[in-house]
Amino acid sequence: MSVPVRVVTLLVAFAAVVAGAVFVVAHYIVGQLPTVDYTSAASGGQVNVVLQEDPQNNSSSVPDWVSYYVMKPGANPASQSSWIHTTLFKVPANTRVNVTILGYDGCTPPRNNYWTQIQGTIGGTVSLQQFKDTGKPLGSTVVTPTINGWAHCAVGHTFAIPSLHVFVPVASPNTTLFNNNACGDSPCVSGPYAMEKFSFMTPNHGGAFRWQCFVPCGGGFLDGNGGPMATFGYMAGQMTVVK
């Protein structure tokens, strides 16, 4: 074979491997999961994204895995039909994302207390309000730069977008209330929870941004990092930013 033919053959073979890899990722890893599209719900340069994290989920295959859910834009969080079992959502570029996370799962200490510190949010803080049950606040709302998961068992999971330097520990509900009355029917619409709010800016360009929980919450898996920690739709997700 001549050199140009070899080069072309190599490039074609390489392109085929890349196409195969893209197909596997798109079709098998993220393909079956719905993406909740918040782009048309954005206005005035802002968009509201609502998530919850639960001690279990409503899948038929792995119902005991901890899991996130994404709420349909502008829906009623007190209705189970408002929640989609996915971790994929889409937001516009150059937009302030106002995130609300309802933390229904109990606490697991972060393995490194570095995760206690809120990073990358506007103001470097979150606002946190505990609830005894839906619509029943417990104590007052606090704005804080840290949620100390070592001094108290206070953190359930984290929400982190490493490429945007956003790292947010997500508070767990009051431990006594959780032990007596935890939500056992996902998506959760009752039981004690922590409501946490924070904001960050999306970049001024489009792209795919992985997000991930960093508390090793995959119970029963090696070091807690398998299972839900390694699976889209549970503790790993993707934020698609569209220009």
Give the residue, chosen from 84, 118, 215, 239, that forms a contact with Cu ion under the rule CB under 5 A: 215
Least Cβ distance, residue 67 to Cu ion (angstroms): 9
- Choice between 198 and 211, CB closer to Cu ion: 211
Give the residue, chosen from 99, 235, 239, 241, that forms a contact with Cu ion under the rule CB under 5 A: 235
160 binds Cu ion (CB under 5 A): no
DSSP one-letter string for the chain: --HHHHHHHHHHHHHHHHHHHHHHIIIIISTTS-EEE-GGG-BTTEEEEEEEEESS---SS-TTS-EEEEEPTT--TTSGGGEES-SEEEEESS-EEEEEEEE-S-----SSGGGGB-BSSGGG-EEEEEEEETTEEEEEEEEESB--TTTSS-EEEEEEEGGGTEEEEEEPPPHHHHHHH---SSSP-SS-EEEEEEEEEPPSS-EEEEEE--S---TTSGGG-SGGGGSBTTTEEEEEEE-
Q: Which stretch binds Cu ion (CB under 5 A): 16-24, 54-62, 196-204, 233-241?
A: 233-241
- Choice between 47 and 239, CB closer to Cu ion: 239
- Choice between 77 and 218, CB closer to Cu ion: 218
213 binds Cu ion (CB under 5 A): yes
- When CB distances to Cu ion are compared, the closest residue is 213
- Contact residues: Cu ion, CB under 5 A: 157, 213, 215, 217, 235
